[in-house]
Structure 1
């Protein structure tokens, strides 16, 4: 098992656009808490943008500029939400694998 098997994909990218990872830790440190807050903000921003998109599209009187800006903003939000989804899915898989190999929480399993 390598270090990347227990890495957390962070909700931001490096200045050159590459993914950033947090290696090790328990998920309660400063960077983990910062990532949790940022993920929550990204998800909330996406929810607000969905409402805005519904409003703009329901009006049926948008300009090409409004549609272009909406598409740009939706793409940015979808990119962020996809990154959050990847990160959370990977962490769920790590937990499941940890339980399967006896690395669970120590509680007896129901037989």
Structure 2
């Protein structure tokens, strides 16, 4: 689908590393031109910390009996933190499955390799 005009492919890693540029890319895709002050507001209110504190984006408005197993939608906002949660065996299994599934995509789509 990445070749289709109505599909925009983004990565969390790009969003973290080049936040302003990624937001500008989204605006271009949507055909929306933001003024500098508008872009600054988007950057401010879409930051991980602000969103984590916002009850509308962090699931805290959902009753606890509806959220299963203490779901924490927003943990740390860090790329690569999965390495601190996977065992070596889990990471090796993931790598094998990932390589098999992602072989059809160009390498530049996987910047975290």
Q: Which has the higher contact order (CA 8 A, sep 6+)?
A: 1
Give TM-score, length-normalised by structure 2. Answer: 0.24
Which structure shows the higher strand fraction?
Answer: 1
Which structure shows the higher helix fraction?
Answer: 1
